[in-house]
Amino acid sequence: MTKNWIYLIPLSAIIIGCGTTDNNDTTNNGEGSIDLRTYLEKEDITKNYQIVNKTIGQKITNQYYSETSTVTTDKIERKLEGITTTIINIEEKKLTVTDVSDEGNIINSFFRHVDLGNNLFSSDINTTELLKIGDTEVGKRTRVGTNSCKPIEQLTEFTKDSHSYTGDILKTECTKKTTITTKVNSEYIGQVNYINGTEDSVDISYYYQKKDTGLIASINDDCIPTNMKYPDDTTECSDGNKSYSYIYYLGN
């Protein structure tokens, strides 16, 4: 299970991007009118979620999980199945997020006060995946690109499928742009399902945080163009080329 933005973006991928912008962003100087603290949990709570996944050519799957948050004036601690996964330290000007894992804790800070269009963070992506058939390495796949998030809208209601939410809701857009290169070892070309080549991918997700509650929904529709394996969400989506992953808050 992944955690994005303050809530669901893998925190190990986050760097402090305060002030990092592109042509569509406004500079984040930490003096904005939106207090991100207000879109996190206000008090101790156990929240129930549903995850709905659909992959092209596969059936829809549903999973359910609960997350428990313990809240004090200056800290929020989240647990899944009794294990601490995230600690958020709250200060006057910033939020410091600790992602807790067996591989080692990752600590990052965000400006607490932002405006719509501010970059919350900007991070580089540079990963290498070993392609294997059983225990045999047959090639490598690299991903190089950027990942960034920014709040784009304040809503009073949000509806998706049969799920409806009302209140003070902050909508955040996250965009991951990557170039994916697959290289099969010469002796395995034509013998495995992997194919040499390069694809450019744009993956856009949306996250909805409700005042005093935290995450109420995340929406990730992936448009997979013909002859591509990875999403390009700048293209038109249809049922035939669409995969998706949704998370819905079901209540306490």
Look up residue 158 and give its two tokens. Answer: 């949000």
Give 240's pLDDT tier (boundaries 50, 70, 90). confident
Provide mean pLDDT across the span 77-88. 92
Q: Side by side, which strands form the sheet with 94-99?
A: 106-111, 94-99, 83-90, 75-80, 61-72, 45-54, 242-251, 214-223, 197-210, 163-184, 136-160, 121-133
Q: What percent of the chain has pLDDT over 70?
A: 88
Across the chain, what does the average pLDDT equal? 86
Q: What is the pLDDT of residue 133?
A: 92
- Residue spans per domain, the chain: 11-124+147-174+204-251
Share of the chain above pLDDT 90, in %: 63
Q: What pLDDT was estimated at residue 28?
A: 64
> How confident is the model at residue 18, as a pLDDT?
35
Q: Is the predicted pLDDT of residue 171 greater than 80, yes or no?
A: yes
pLDDT on residue 7: 45
As a whole number, mean pLDDT of residues 226-251 equals: 85
Cβ-based neighbours of 28, under 8 Å, separated by 6 or more: 17, 18, 19, 21, 111, 114, 115, 118, 119, 120
Q: What is the mean pLDDT of residues 14-43?
A: 66
Euclidean distance between CA atoms 34 and 211, whole angstroms: 11
Report the DSSP beta bridge partners of residue 184: 139
Contacts of 52 (CB under 8 A, 6+ apart): 60, 61, 62, 244, 245, 246, 247, 248
Question: Residue 212 pLDDT more than 80?
Answer: yes
Question: Residues 212-238: what's their mean pLDDT?
Answer: 87
6-27 as b/e: b if 16+ CB within 10 A: bbbbebebbeebbebbeeebee
How would residue 27 be classed by pLDDT, with cut points 50, 70 and 90?
low
For 103-129, how does the pLDDT look when each residue is reduced to its tens digit (9 = 90+)?
778 787 789 999 999 988 777 889 999
CB 180 within 8 A of CB 194: no
Average pLDDT, stretch 33-45? Answer: 96
Mean pLDDT of 4-15: 39
pLDDT at residue 237, as a whole number: 77
pLDDT (0 to 100) of residue 120: 84
Q: How far apart are CA 86 and CA 83, in angstroms?
A: 9
pLDDT of residue 20: 36
Q: How high is the pLDDT of residue 220?
A: 95
Residue 246 has pLDDT above 90, yes or no: yes
Closest CA to 21 of 115, 129, 148, 125: 148
pLDDT confidence tier of residue 247, bands split at 50, 70 and 90: very high
pLDDT of residue 9 exceeding 70, the answer is no
